[in-house]
Amino acid sequence: MAIRQLQKWRIKRLFQQISQGSLVYRTLGNMSLRVGIVIFISAGVSYIHMMSKLEAQTRQQLEKYIHARGDRESSIFELAKDNLTVIKDRYLQELKVLGNKDPKTEFDALVSQWSDKTSRNFPQYKDYRQFDTHKYATVFIGKEATNNADLRRRILLAHNLISIYGHAWSNRFIDTYMVSPENTLTIYWKDLPYGLQSSSSYYTLDKEFFYAANPEHNPKRETVWTGVYLDPTVKAWMVSALSPVYDANDRYIGNFGHDIILTDLVNSTIKDHLKGTYNLVFREDGRLIAHPELMDEIQQKDGKLRISDLKNPHLQKVFELVTQANSQENILDYQSANEYLAFTKLEGTKWYFVTVYPKSLLSGMAFDTASFILICGIISLLIEVLLLFLAILQEIAKPVNDLLHATEQVASGNFDIKLDTERSDELGRLANAFTTMSHQLQESFDSLEHKVANRTVELAQAKQAADAANQAKSEFLANMSHELRTPLNGVLGYAQILNRSQNLPEKERHGVNIIYQCGNHLLMLIDDILDLAKIEARKVDLVAKPIHFPAFLQGVMEICQIRAYQKGIEFVYQASSNLPESIEADEKRLRQVLINLLGNGIKFTDAGKVSFTVETVEKLTPSAIASPTQIIRFQIEDTGIGIAKEHLEAIFQPFEQVGERRRQAQGTGLGLSISQKIVEMMGSHIQVQSEVGKGTTFVFEVEFPVGTEPIWQYKTNSGKEIVGYEGERQTILVIDDRWENRAVLSSLLAPLGFEIVEAENGQEGLTKAREIQPNLIITDILMPEMDGLEMLKQLRQDEDLQDLRVIISSASVSPLEQQMSLEAGGNDFLPKPVHSEELFNLLEKHTEIHWKYQSVSELAPVPIESKLNPLNIPPSADLLILLQLAQQGRLQKLIAVAKEMTQTSDRYLPFIQQVTQLASEFQAEKIETLIEQYLEVETQTS
């Protein structure tokens, strides 16, 4: 790249030298300059002359055009106004003649009342399609109208006149009608019995064709026009002409109206325009009637779209110029927009028809003329240059071609060029300069190639060193994980074994669960170390599984509560009563985030408390039943030392720690960074608010799928515990060099009826496999004498043993290790530490057994009469306290309060045992049902 840029610079420099004092420049330059000046002056003068002449002609043509368009478009509106004046005058004359006469007989013969309490001029029991719409108008009288003599006179007279005039005018106007303030409508609409089809709730008073002409909106009592609207019946643009009617007592009694189809006006406004221009129509009050680009918006606003609502400065300015113009003007010069505005006011309306004529049309025509002159001049110039070129071709063309060929050679990397350097003119000097430049470029290129080669070697060495360092880090982390997982296998394995014991008291079982949860937490920390490299490489994936949400939160709370109590601060856990029982989430990652945030709060709080609040943000909606989800809000608030504002962003950076150095030593600086990345993968973001000396609050919200089946730890979904299996007794060979690993598997499986045979290495395991022919082998990988992979290889080569099912169980749990184990011949992989549920699932999968279950004791629903004696139930006040704690989900607090009640009287003990048993199983709803039943018992006995 650098070489090519240098080449371009040198070549440009050389051609600049050509233009200074050369023969070519003097000859072609002087001639081209003289002719060019003449050509451009002629073109400029022509352009100015043509513009002046075209402007005058255009204004004259626009004035004629706008007058003609105004006369053409106004005719229908003037006719409508005249028609309405004629029928209104005739109506008032005949109304005066009628006087106070009550035409009840004629009215009753014309109109009949329908079952919906409205009145129409056709019997309800007949098919309205039989009505002769070509001859008669239809009548609609709303149920609000009072049937009196005055109304009967007006309705009967309107029906007679509209039937006559409406039929006569139907060739130009789609309908003729009269509406009254009593919610009546008399309308002639050819081919449409409008009044008979209207619903009983039809209400004319809120229609624009009524209120636009009433005294409130039309105090001048003149003919007015509604906005443009798209009629759903005829599917055409329409506008209504309205003429108000006042009787001899100056009482407003209704409007006569015409609906005018504006399809022709709208189409002609949009499509019939001068080339390069466009037309628009708007009312005097700013309501837009027609615009080529805004008809959809006009339709959406039901014809009530105002120019001021569009926030269109150009259109607003056009409206202001036209409405404020002198009545004698028809052409306006809109200079800032470089346009002419030709306009006229349509007769019979308060509408303006405007043609927008861009001045660029004039400049285009003038430019065309000037361009023609310019092209002719350029052609003349080219002819002159061509003649001159023929004269100097021999002296200049050949040396220049040689120079161009040399330039191409240099560009392709060939610096061995030969030019005629003996000439003493400009071309000779150019050849000398170019030859010197090519030699300099060759030296620079050779030097650059040498530097690039050296740099490439250095980069390769640096990459090799970095790869080696990454490999060493990965091996170290994998080895450390393996060494830590081995003792954890014993801790977690025996915690599961103790938890399965039937004779373990509740208090000790609770302690075993805490040991198991703390061990899992340590296992999670080990996994975090391994995940660090994945997080940096953006290769961490979330694995969502159904989890029992209250139990999950309780486990997190107990782990952190121990830390808080050890430090002497209060730990407050508040869970919403409407939390879902089961959600689908990555349990490990969610626990990791919560323990990181809670641990951070405990670490930086010396006095006060740390609060952990979990609540729902949105309830499930009916539309979400197919795949229900729930947004859950997690908040961790402490009264610790707080974080300065300038450090709030830094706390989420890797290896960043704030605060005192003694506190920084307690962590790695990765917790918050990893937590933020995990929460972002969940589709959310951790927000933090803090004030130095007062504390810090972390909040995030995540949307989880809600499970439909309850999830229980250490039990099947049916609420039973495995106590054995059906079928022949199974022999399992356990191969592991660590006795504690073998002991864990033996202690888990032997009580269930399995025969366990142990081996300390692959060689011994292979020998025992040949001797006992086991049903299944569970083997480690890393062992002395012969490792598990080699044992597998020989096993698959043995004709008697090659079909034996083998489960690989290792503390090396990376995806690569698992893949290698399966490719070596393993049937499945069981990571260490071993989880009993995973182990049992794999055994059922790979052996021909069916588990036997023992029902776990639950509180059976029994009638009130068979439950405790009401005298052995705590007082109502205590029951209400327990009910409130159960509804809040504060089960640990409920257990503590219930146990305190036993100190009051031993007779409450059976009740307390039931409640605490349910609380330990997180059965909040069953506790609520139980307490409510006992409250009913107390109410009945009292």
pLDDT at 613 over 90: yes
Average of per-residue pLDDT values in the chain? 79
Neighbours of 105 (CB within 10 A): 9
Lowest mean pLDDT among 401-410, 547-556, 725-734, 886-895: 401-410
Burial code (b: 16+ CB inside 10 Å, e: under 16) for 159-180 equals bbbbbbbbbebbeebbbbbbbb
Determine the pLDDT at residue 808: 92
Asked if residues 682 and 704 have their Cβ atoms less than 8 Å apart, the reply is no
Q: Please give the Cα distance from 758 to 768 (Å, whole number).
A: 9
- Give 33 or 234, the one with higher predicted confidence: 33
Using 50, 70 and 90 to split pLDDT, how confident is the model at 666? very low
**Dihedral pair phi/psi, residue 547, rounded to 5°:** -135, 150
Residue 365 exposed, middle or buried by CB count within 10 Å (0-12, 13-18, 19+) = middle
Query: Which among 690, 705, 694 is positioned nearest to 544, based on CA atoms?
Result: 705
**Dihedral pair phi/psi, residue 719, rounded to 5°:** 80, 30
Asked if residues 102 and 257 have their Cβ atoms less than 8 Å apart, the reply is no
Using 50, 70 and 90 to split pLDDT, how confident is the model at 257? very high
Q: Which residue has the tokens 């014809």?
A: 303
Pairing of β 755-759 and β 731-735:
parallel
Q: Show the 3-state SS of 434-476.
A: HHHHHHHHHHHHHHHHHHHHHHHHHHHHHHHHHHHHHHHHHHH
> 184-229 pLDDT, tens per residue?
999 999 988 988 988 888 888 888 888 888 999 999 999 988 877 7
Query: Which among 893, 872, 888 is positioned nearest to 928, based on CA atoms?
Result: 888
In CATH, the number for domain 718-854 is 3.40.50.2300
Using 50, 70 and 90 to split pLDDT, how confident is the model at 858? very low
Asked if residues 552 and 491 have their Cβ atoms less than 8 Å apart, the reply is no
- Give 454 or 364, the one with higher predicted confidence: 454
pLDDT at 614 over 90: yes
Query: Which among 349, 347, 351 is positioned nearest to 288, based on CA atoms?
Result: 351
Asked if residues 140 and 110 have their Cβ atoms less than 8 Å apart, the reply is no
Determine the pLDDT at residue 329: 80
> 90-106 pLDDT, tens per residue?
999 999 998 999 999 99
Determine the pLDDT at residue 3: 52
Type of residue at 96: K
Q: Show the 3-state SS of 538-583.
A: CCCCCCCEEEEHHHHHHHHHHHHHHHHHHHCCEEEEEECCCCCCEE
Q: Which residue has the tokens 């393996």?
A: 482
Q: Please give the Cα distance from 345 to 175 (Å, whole number).
A: 25
Using 50, 70 and 90 to split pLDDT, how confident is the model at 577? confident
Determine the pLDDT at residue 186: 95
Q: Which strands, in side-by-side order, build the sheet including 570-575? A: 570-575, 609-616, 629-638, 695-705, 687-691
Q: Does the domain made of 462-535 have the CATH classification 3.40.50.10420?
A: no
- Topology of domain 544-705 in CATH is Heat Shock Protein 90 (3.30.565)
Pairing of β 776-779 and β 755-759:
unpaired
Which bin fits 472, alpha (ψ -120 to 50), beta or left (φ > 0)? alpha
Region 451-473 average pLDDT: 72
Tokens of 114: 């329908």
> 297-323 pLDDT, tens per residue?
887 887 778 888 888 999 999 988 888
Tokens of 584: 């689908």
pLDDT at 168 over 60: yes
Q: How far is CA 575 from CA 37, 556, 579, 682, 915, in A?
A: 88, 12, 7, 21, 19
> 679-688 pLDDT, tens per residue?
988 889 999 9
Percent of the chain clearing pLDDT 70 (strictly above):
76
Burial code (b: 16+ CB inside 10 Å, e: under 16) for 217-240 equals ebeeeebbbbbbbbeeebebbbbb
Determine the pLDDT at residue 122: 93
Q: Where exactly are the structural domains of the chain?
A: 462-535, 544-705, 718-854, 876-939
Range among 192-196, 282-286, 888-892 with highest mean pLDDT value: 192-196
Determine the pLDDT at residue 176: 95
pLDDT at 782 over 50: yes
Determine the pLDDT at residue 778: 94
Q: How far is CA 856 from CA 86, 713, 722, 853, 886, in A?
A: 95, 12, 10, 9, 22
Determine the pLDDT at residue 662: 44
Q: Which residue has the tokens 């999830």?
A: 711
Cis ω for the linkage preceding 833 (within 30 of 0): yes
pLDDT at 597 over 50: yes
- Strands in 678-740 per DSSP E: 687-691, 695-705, 720-726, 731-735
Query: Which among 770, 775, 780 is positioned nearest to 801, based on CA atoms?
Result: 770
> 824-846 pLDDT, tens per residue?
889 998 888 887 888 888 898 88
> 508-525 pLDDT, tens per residue?
666 666 676 667 666 666
- Give 633 or 44, the one with higher predicted confidence: 633
Lowest mean pLDDT among 569-583, 719-733, 844-858: 844-858
Q: Give the side-chain half-sphere CA count within 13 A for 798.
A: 15
Neighbours of 263 (CB within 10 A): 13
